[in-house]
Structure 1
Amino acid sequence: MLYSLGRDKSLKYDEALLRYRDKVNKSFELYLFNLLYLIRVAQFSIQDAESRRAKLRPSEEDKKFEAKLATNPLILSLSKNEGLYRLFKQYKTESFLDEDHIRSFYNEFSKKEEYIQYVYNDNQTDKEHEEMLLSLYRQLCANELFLELNDDTFAQWEDDESLIIGSIKKTLKALPADMSFYEAYKPNAEATVDFGELLLRKVYHEDEELLKVIEPTLRNWDVERVAIIDMILIKMALVELMTFKSIPSKVTLNEFVEIAKNYSTDKSKDFINGILDRLLKQLVDEGKISKEGRGLISD
């Protein structure tokens, strides 16, 4: 949003704020889409079991086949969660699914040796069910058609990919899920308003003041020569350092160095790390950073 505001002079702040709010909501929709897709691939094992038993001459393997991918207690805690399915209905998540791809992907996955062993081995533990679901999702995320579907359906997939994948893995590792587990992934006022919107507002409206703080740390660098994305990240980090008392300074520095790896040039990581280190020292010396809790400035 800040990049768009800087590049598009016709874009008003209020419009950018609305885009930010929409993006936050779309990220949750993307999470739901990935979760439902995983559930539906797992549930296809039921059709697989029925098809095997419907054969004129089913083999012993066909007779012994069980739809464990769909009937294990971990996936059932998702597929039988009424609140979750109300969300799928609310966001029309099912309309984005590609049933042909779900079938073809399951058929491909069902040939994997790890899946075959999982199906025919008895008495699996919850940990083994978890490992199989994680493997299923990892291979789904390595599937080109699935990635294209995410990208074609949700414009922010490229930005949110690592966040969504991490959230789904976190969800799977916490199974069996409680009835309202999804609340932890829904947009909330603290994250979107108290943090996100406040950060956006302060960086936009206090641009000149932030530049005055940053310029002395640039040393031989001309402000005009600093990459636009790098300057935005430095300003955001500066606001976070001075505004959010509960966030440790080192967490802020590490966070924005990681962001630089994904969104800026190869050299940006080291450049931003150096500038933020100098800024932190300067602000601490000037008494402009106040953190709540012992050790939050340096830890």
Structure 2
Amino acid sequence: MLSRRNVRIKVMQILYSLSRDKNLDLDGVLHQYRDYVRKSFELYLFTLYVLIRIAEFAKQDAAKRLSKLLPSDDDKRFTAKLSDNPCIASLINNDGLNRLFRAYKMDKKTDDDAIRHFYTEFSKTEEYKQYVYQENSTDEDHRNVLLALFKHCQQSEMFNEFIEDQYPLWVDDESLIVGALKKTVKALPVEANFFESYRPADETVREFGEQLLSQVIREDDKLLEMIEPTLKNWDAERVAIIDMILLKMALCELMSFPTIPTKVTLNEFVEISKMYSTDKSKDFINGILDRLMKKLQSEGKINKEGRGLVDE
């Protein structure tokens, strides 16, 4: 589920923490990184759990409508199909998924009032009303209404705050989780062990992330020595901490990961600087990395596997 960009961001955040807390050793840093990675999968599960809980609230809505002294025609026609359809049922009745929910104590992290609010707000939408009173709904209809529900929640400030209160990394991982949730819903009804495919892959997490993190820490002084001559009128101590971290990471990636094209490395770190550093950082990062890359290429220190990887 984690892309290399997600991993780069997590490595950057760990290195920033290290710059503020010199007491962290390499083992401690790697432990923190692995925890960040684990939390991303946990966040995916939590967001899925919340979506299921909101859908299940349709049963309470149906019971409340039927208990009215004078139910309207709409009340009488209403059914809890949002909760009872085979697509959402494949999640509700998934034993493996429910074991994970219990292991991470998801029920302790949710709030009944919040779930009620999210459902109630969605129940006012035309998408939901059309779905509820539609006859002979297909699996595609069930999937589409769940996608509409999730989109509606995404646009809610209360929903975003609710998720972020439990998992602060929602700010960084939102696009990742949104993509994973949409992929899950579009595949409903799911296979029993579908969630395994969303666990972070070792190749990305360990072979890329841990190696990159470890190398930047071990070679910190050497990397600084390589960067300083390219700064021209800049004093290294005046360079923003995040910018210096990104430069060191990019240097390691250029020299030590032969299957990642050089242009990908440059573009990725420029994009990350736009998100996490100052307004001028993207131009600064782009200029310094361009100089560093040309210097490394002239010295034969960038060796890529495969045709065209240096220039692509």
Please indicate, yes or no, whether the TM-score normalized by the shorter chain is above 0.5: yes
Aligned to 1:88: 101
| Counterpart for residue 162 of structure 1 | 175
Structure 1 segments unaligned to the other structure (5+ residues)? none
Q: How far apart, in 2, do the equivalents of 1:81 and 1:45 lie?
A: 19
- Which one-letter code corresponds to 1:291 in the other structure? K
**What is the deviation of 1:127?**
4.0
User: Greater shift after overlay, 3-12 or 66-75?
Assistant: 66-75
Deviation, structure 1 residue 229: 0.2
Query: 1:230-249: per-residue Cα shift (whole Å, max 9, x none)?
Result: 11011112212222222222
Alignment of 1:91-240 (within 5 A): 91-240=104-253
Q: 2:301 aligns with which of 285, 288, 293?
A: 288
Distance 2:140 2:259 in 1: 35
Tell me the equivalent position of 2:277: 264
C-alpha distance in 2, partners of 1:74/1:238?
A: 47
Are the counterparts in 2 of residues 5 and 13 from structure 1 also a CA contact under 8 Å? no
Alpha-carbon distance between aligned partners in 2 of 1:278 and 1:72, rounded to the nearest angstrom: 58
1:75 aligns with 2:88: yes
Q: Which has the higher contact order (CA 8 A, sep 6+)?
A: 2
* TM-score normalised by structure 1 residue count: 0.90
Residue 265 (structure 1) shift: 1.0
Q: CA deviation at 1:124?
A: 4.0
2:200 alignment partner, SS class = coil
RMSD: 2.2
TM-score by length of 2: 0.87
Answer whether contact 2:118 2:159 (CA < 8 A) is retained: no
Are the aligned partners of 1:237 and 1:252 in contact in 2 as well (CA < 8 Å)?
A: yes
Cα contact 2:230–2:291 (8 A) shared by 1: yes
Structure 1 pair 267–169 and aligned structure 2 pair: CA distance change class (3 A): farther
**In 2, distance between residues paired with 1:4 and 1:297?**
32
215-224 or 78-87, larger mean C-alpha shift: 215-224
Report SS of the residue matched to 1:138: helix
> 1:261 touches 1:268 (CA, 8 Å); kept in 2?
yes
Query: 1:293: Cα distance to partner?
Result: 2.7
What is the identity, as a one-letter code, of the residue corresponding to 2:260? I
Amino acid across the alignment from 1:257: V
Mapped partners of 2:98, 2:311: distance in 1: 44
SS in 2 for 1:290: coil
Alignment-mate amino acid for residue 226 of structure 1: V
Q: Distance in 1 between matches of 2:172 and 2:23?
A: 24
Superposed displacement of residue 55, structure 1: 2.9
Q: Structure 2: how far apart are the matches of 1:61 and 1:282? A: 72
Q: State which of 14, 17, 21 in structure 1 corresponds to 2:34.
A: 21
1:75-111 deviation digits (Å, cap 9, x = unpaired) = 2332222211111111111211111110122112101
* Counterpart code for 1:8: D
Counting aligned pairs with the same residue, the percent is 61
1:253 matched residue in structure 2:
266
| 8 Å contact from structure 2 (residues 127, 148) kept in 1 | no
Answer yes or no: is the 8 Å Cα contact 2:48–2:181 preserved in 1: yes
Pair 298,77 (structure 1): closer, same or farther in 2 beyond 3 Å? farther
